[in-house]
Chain A
Amino acid sequence: MASPSLMDTLFQRGLDDIIKGVRHQQSSTESIFISRVIEEIRREIKSTDLQTKSTALQKLTYLNSIHFIDMSWASFHAIECISSPTFSHKKIGYLAISQSFSESTPVILLISNQLRKDLKSGNEFEVSLALDCLSRIGTVDLCRDLASEVFILMSSSKVFIRKKAIGIVLRLFEKYPDAVRVCFKKLVESLEGSDSPIVSAVVGVFCELSAKDPRSYLPLAPEFYRILVDSKNNWVLIKVLKIFVKLAPLEPRLAKRLVEPICDHMRKTGAKSLVFECIRTVVTSFTEYESAMKLAAAKIREFLMEDDPNLKYLGLHAISIMAPKHLWAVLENKDVVIQSLSDEDPNIKLESLRLVMAMASESNLMETCRVLVNYALKSDPDFCNEILGSILSTCCQNVYEVIIDFDWYVSLLGEMSRIPNCKKGEEIENQLIDIGMRVKDVRPELVRIARDLLIDPALLGNPFLHRLLSAAAWVCGEYVEFSRNPVELMEALLQPRTSLLPSSIRTVYMQSAFKILIFCIHSYFLQKEDMTSEVSDLASKRECSESSDLATGKALVQSDQDEGFNPRESNQSYEYPSAVDTGDGQSSTPTFMEKKSLMHESIVNLLNLMELVLSPLSGSLDVEIQERACNVLGFIELVQQEFSNPLIRKEANLDREEVIASRVVEWVHDGFTEELGPVSVTAQDRVPIPDELVLKENLTDLEAICGGVELPAPGSFSLTSPYYGESAVFSVSNLQAEEDSEPSTESTSLLTEHRKRHELYYLPSEKNKIPANDYPPANDPSSSISTNDATEDLVKLADQSLVSKRKPNHAKPRPVVVKLEEGEAAPVVSKKPELKDDLLSGAIHDILLGNEAKAASSQSNPSDKSSSKRKGKAKHVDLLDSKENLAVGEQPNHENPSSRRSKHRGDGKQKSKKSKGKKNGDGREDDGEKESQKIRDHHGRHKSRQRADAPINVVPQTPDIPDYLL
């Protein structure tokens, strides 16, 4: 590195030069310029001259904060600067430190001494610099080392210093909880001061502290109450209100006291910020006070009427806090809410959307959703998705509580997925499957919607909707018996554009196609059986099977004609397996089951189509796709033999073949039609581990045994997507069973056993019920949330569903929605506070509740002064004393049962109060007894009061317990 030249030292560039320099650069050359400046700084900062050094550091600090240049390498130079005797150097150094130091900065401990020196400095601005710095970077070590200095500063005569010292206490307590023992008393005393900035700072500190652990500060409630009533400073009042929001839930009687002063402020003050804070306090914590709520609502109304968008936004926000318990507040402002939906401000729009959804009920849901969906079409993409998201989440609340007409809802879901900006594919997916499983009656409509989605080639191109399509495919496969035209579904599932889908979803498509195939073949066989039995008199001769096929076909074609099964058309689609036209006149035809018209040829076409589409996939690189393709192709091969060329085949041969094929189809079909029950999220936990099951056995022996044995086709344990996993496994295992040509009874019996076990294990409490209907899907997050929310409802409703199950209701009442009783779904236990908080609150407890041993160890206190000071305050809260015992009873931390109540009660004032509060006092005699320790503190205080200024050895514990209730 070149040694600093004369020019460098003499004419060092200052901060202003750098700023000007940067401003003159083009954006392209800026970074070059800055890196040159950094070079310069690196040179200058090594200078022994502090002026040069500090200027360099200042430049670096500037570049760090404005141009995001790393400055961690300069930390030692910053420490050099703060040790300068010159104020401006110090200031630069401290700014650099507070901007760039973190707890892991290695040299941070080096500043400890300098900080101490500056904290003791006579120059108040130097002290203030050190305090500011400590408040930003204070580590455990620094806070421990400097706690006593800060404590001294808290009693400084200068308000300027005291205020800053109080501000730093927060950091001190957080990092070094033991500091509480030293500083807490001083902090509480500062509450009573008359200096507005001091009170403001202290209240701010308590606001932060009580946010973390409100219980510890309950004893200070009287102080805060006094401030609430007396203070004229809006900043202070706001902070006090924030404290009370935290305290009120812990002490129910606080609310009664607080409501009046808060309402008073709300009425009188002109400051909107205070009004809003009052409103927020009331609507969050004092919801049961009718008059206060009314007043708050009136004030909110005023906010809403303002032109200022801020007030409007906050007004709406306040209503949405009220909404869950006080819907009337929303309804009263319905006009504004609706109107705000088209506000230009995105915040206001969002809030009003939440409120609109809060207003939604069973009766107006359809109308609301209709309006919102139309509105979503016109909105910008972000807000459109907000709308869709809120519709979805509102509707699925408490297992679709608000929905009566599921047909409507399902078609709404279909409609929503067609909105161009829709990005809610995943939520819609979950709901489609969830509803399919829970609501039996809606399945025909669901299949219709799913079909519409599947045959729409446009949707395939939108990656946000892929998940949704997978749900549609699954629905079509699972509930194919409600379909009007399975062949059409099949073609949609196998269309070439499905190659756009991710492989996980493609496998769902393939599996669904397979289900549909099985269904078609099965019903073909069924119908043939029926036919043969029907026409057995006529056709007993049975010239050849092919003619009987034809007869079947013709006979049925007479009864109703179905274009979808017209051989010509299906031939066509076999050759061009693309999105096929949906078959025009089909909407009027009854469902497929009722028609039972499947011709031999159409089955053959289906088989051919599948074979054609799946053959290339058997070489797919994706293992899931490949396996499924292979499995299905294997099946097709088996079945095809009998369908492909019936003319050539001999009658006897065919009979045998067909028997096998039809049995195979029957097994697989049984596997598919068996309804998969949803499984409770907690089901796994409830599975008892059988005694004979050894989970930790060493299985190395097994490997030796199995070494030579070929593993079965990999498909049997294919990893499937969670929703459809089970059905896939069943089907494949069935398939294999027949491929190995094992006796059918074995596989079915295995299957039934498997089911039994599942039923048993997944839901031990519902063993005796029909398994099919009572499980929500295991993996559906939305349902798991909602079921947790409404445990009780669920139990109730699940019972209902059992009673009314499978009974079609006529007047289109709300269909049965299957729910799971989630008996032991315990609410999530709130996390325990962190260790640090424990330490802190523990320390504060010790201080507040007068753990004598520890308090004594803290410091000897100027007791007289504080206690005499306390007198005035005590008078103010004396009227509360009658309740003290209860409050005391609610505090933990009591060991010594030696009662000194008599003495305590000896206080005259106390006695007269007692008669008033007798009801309370008597009832809590016991509590009081237990509280001896605290009572001793009262005692100490009262004593000190009686003896005026006589010096006492008993350390008066800062916040006197009797006062701590309102």
Chain B
Amino acid sequence: MIKAVLVINTQGKPRLTKFYGFLTVEKQQELIRSVFGVLCSRAEKVSNFMEVDSIFGPDSRLVYKHYATLYFIFVFDSSENELAMLDLIQVFVETLDKCFRNVCELDIVFNYNKLHSILDEIISGGQVLETSSTEIMRAVEEISKSESASNSISLVPKTVSGWRSR
């Protein structure tokens, strides 16, 4: 089971946080800080694992990948394979890349909504449900389509109702 997916930039600013169990915001912030504290002390070209039992409790593992200015971090338990999780990060990033054409940090900053759509297609409730980036893309595009369709319809009424409610 996956416990959390985090994207943090190299300054320690979170870009995407998703915890698959309820945590208060204070706890989330604390966890992210301690993870980043360890991450930034790690050299380049070392292994992508981190021992996090002290941060996330027993039976926790963490893998991360460093792309340009971003760390992609998956936290999970013993039901997942470490190398498979690294592959999953790869799938996630590939999908982002397809989605935004040469994804960069700014895309991730400004496409909060879409990011969640993509992630929710891959992981649901901590379970990996889809690993094929074409499938993910297909679903995400459909979702975007129905989102924008509903938005364009609501554009006019919004203004009108805005006027009326005055």
Q: Which residues of A contact B (CB under 8 A)?
A: 6, 9-10, 15-16, 19, 23, 47-52, 58, 62, 64-66, 68-70, 86-89, 91-92, 95, 101-103, 123, 125, 128, 131-132, 135-137, 160, 163-164, 167-168, 170-171, 197, 200-201, 204-205, 207-208, 211, 234-235, 238-239, 242, 272-273, 276-277, 309-310, 312-314, 344-348, 350
Residues on A with beta carbons closer than 8 Å to the beta carbon of B130 = 163, 197
* Option from B13, B25, B87, B110 in Cβ contact (under 8 Å) with A69: B25
Do A314 and B83 have beta carbons less than 8 Å apart? yes
Do B135 and A345 have beta carbons less than 8 Å apart? no
B144 to chain A, nearest CB (A): 10
With the chains together, A123 CA to B115 CA distance in Å? Answer: 21
* Option from B15, B47, B109, B159 in Cβ contact (under 8 Å) with A310: B47
Do A309 and B83 have beta carbons less than 8 Å apart? no
With the chains together, A95 CA to B112 CA distance in Å? Answer: 11
Q: Which residues of B contact A (CB under 8 A)?
A: 1, 13-18, 20, 22, 25-26, 28-29, 42-43, 45-51, 78-79, 81-84, 86-87, 109-110, 112-113, 116-117, 120, 124-131, 135, 139, 142-143, 146-151, 153-154, 157-159, 161-162, 165-166
Contacts A69-B25, A273-B81 aside, 10 further interface pairs with beta carbons under 8 A come to: A9-B165, A19-B109, A19-B112, A49-B158, A51-B154, A68-B25, A86-B153, A273-B82, A273-B86, A314-B83
With the chains together, A131 CA to B17 CA distance in Å? Answer: 20
Do A65 and B17 have beta carbons less than 8 Å apart? yes
A169 to chain B, nearest CB (A): 9
List the B residue with the shortest CB-CB distance to A50. B154
Do B14 and A66 have beta carbons less than 8 Å apart? yes
Do B127 and A201 have beta carbons less than 8 Å apart? yes
Residues on B with beta carbons closer than 8 Å to the beta carbon of A64 = 25
Interchain Cβ contacts under 8 Å between A and B, 6 examples: A69-B25, A86-B151, A88-B154, A132-B124, A235-B84, A314-B83
Do A309 and B162 have beta carbons less than 8 Å apart? no
Residues on A with beta carbons closer than 8 Å to the beta carbon of B116 = 95
Do B22 and A102 have beta carbons less than 8 Å apart? yes
Interface centre among B26, B42, B78, B150 (most CB of A within 10 A): B150
Given A58-B113, A167-B129, A273-B81, verify A347-B46 contact (CB < 8 Å): yes
Residues on A with beta carbons closer than 8 Å to the beta carbon of B42 = 346
* Option from B45, B46, B151, B165 in Cβ contact (under 8 Å) with A49: B165
Residues on B with beta carbons closer than 8 Å to the beta carbon of A135 = 124-127
Given A68-B29, A91-B147, A208-B1, verify A15-B112 contact (CB < 8 Å): yes
Residues on B with beta carbons closer than 8 Å to the beta carbon of A238 = 81, 84
A386 to chain B, nearest CB (A): 11
Do B49 and A313 have beta carbons less than 8 Å apart? yes
With the chains together, A620 CA to B20 CA distance in Å? Answer: 55
With the chains together, A578 CA to B124 CA distance in Å? Answer: 69
List the A residue with the shortest CB-CB distance to B28. A68
Residues on A with beta carbons closer than 8 Å to the beta carbon of B48 = 309-310
A879 to chain B, nearest CB (A): 30
Residues on A with beta carbons closer than 8 Å to the beta carbon of B143 = 91, 125
Residues on B with beta carbons closer than 8 Å to the beta carbon of A91 = 113, 117, 143, 147
Identify whether the interface residues of A are mostly helix, strand, loop, or mixed. Answer: helix
A342 to chain B, nearest CB (A): 13
Do A310 and B86 have beta carbons less than 8 Å apart? yes
Do A16 and B47 have beta carbons less than 8 Å apart? no
Residues on A with beta carbons closer than 8 Å to the beta carbon of B162 = 9-10, 49, 52
List the A residue with the shortest CB-CB distance to B13. A66
Do B109 and A68 have beta carbons less than 8 Å apart? no
Do A310 and B112 have beta carbons less than 8 Å apart? no
Do A309 and B47 have beta carbons less than 8 Å apart? yes
With the chains together, A19 CA to B129 CA distance in Å? Answer: 30
* Option from B17, B86, B127, B147 in Cβ contact (under 8 Å) with A66: B17
Do B46 and A345 have beta carbons less than 8 Å apart? yes
Do B49 and A52 have beta carbons less than 8 Å apart? no
Residues on A with beta carbons closer than 8 Å to the beta carbon of B124 = 131-132, 135, 164, 167-168
B73 to chain A, nearest CB (A): 14
Residues on B with beta carbons closer than 8 Å to the beta carbon of A125 = 139, 142-143, 146
With the chains together, A273 CA to B48 CA distance in Å? Answer: 14
List the A residue with the shortest CB-CB distance to B38. A346
Do B127 and A49 have beta carbons less than 8 Å apart? no
Residues on A with beta carbons closer than 8 Å to the beta carbon of B151 = 86, 88
Residues on B with beta carbons closer than 8 Å to the beta carbon of A87 = 146-147, 149-150
A641 to chain B, nearest CB (A): 60
* Option from B14, B17, B125, B154 in Cβ contact (under 8 Å) with A132: B125
B88 to chain A, nearest CB (A): 9
Residues on B with beta carbons closer than 8 Å to the beta carbon of A103 = 22
With the chains together, A733 CA to B92 CA distance in Å? Answer: 73
With the chains together, A348 CA to B48 CA distance in Å? Answer: 11
List the A residue with the shortest CB-CB distance to B158. A51
B5 to chain A, nearest CB (A): 11
Do A48 and B46 have beta carbons less than 8 Å apart? no
Do A273 and B128 have beta carbons less than 8 Å apart? no
List the A residue with the shortest CB-CB distance to B15. A66
List the B residue with the shortest CB-CB distance to A312. B47
Do A62 and B112 have beta carbons less than 8 Å apart? yes
Do B131 and A205 have beta carbons less than 8 Å apart? no
- The 6 A-B residue pairs with the shortest CB-CB distance, nearest first, are A135-B125, A273-B83, A345-B46, A309-B47, A102-B22, A51-B158
* Option from B147, B159, B165, B166 in Cβ contact (under 8 Å) with A88: B147
* Option from B84, B109, B150 in Cβ contact (under 8 Å) with A234: B84
Do B110 and A19 have beta carbons less than 8 Å apart? yes
A248 to chain B, nearest CB (A): 15
List the A residue with the shortest CB-CB distance to B59. A211
Residues on A with beta carbons closer than 8 Å to the beta carbon of B16 = 65-66
Do A101 and B22 have beta carbons less than 8 Å apart? yes
A217 to chain B, nearest CB (A): 14
Given A19-B110, A58-B113, A68-B29, verify A211-B45 contact (CB < 8 Å): no
Do A49 and B161 have beta carbons less than 8 Å apart? yes
Do B46 and A346 have beta carbons less than 8 Å apart? yes
Given A125-B142, A347-B47, verify A68-B26 contact (CB < 8 Å): yes
With the chains together, A918 CA to B113 CA distance in Å? Answer: 64
Residues on B with beta carbons closer than 8 Å to the beta carbon of A70 = 25
With the chains together, A493 CA to B29 CA distance in Å? Answer: 48
Do A277 and B135 have beta carbons less than 8 Å apart? no
With the chains together, A346 CA to B48 CA distance in Å? Answer: 11
Do B131 and A235 have beta carbons less than 8 Å apart? yes
Do A211 and B17 have beta carbons less than 8 Å apart? no
A186 to chain B, nearest CB (A): 17
With the chains together, A64 CA to B135 CA distance in Å? Answer: 29
Given A68-B26, A135-B124, A164-B124, verify A52-B158 contact (CB < 8 Å): yes
List the A residue with the shortest CB-CB distance to B165. A48
List the B residue with the shortest CB-CB distance to A239. B79
With the chains together, A729 CA to B110 CA distance in Å? Answer: 72
List the B residue with the shortest CB-CB distance to A273. B83
Residues on B with beta carbons closer than 8 Å to the beta carbon of A65 = 14, 16-18
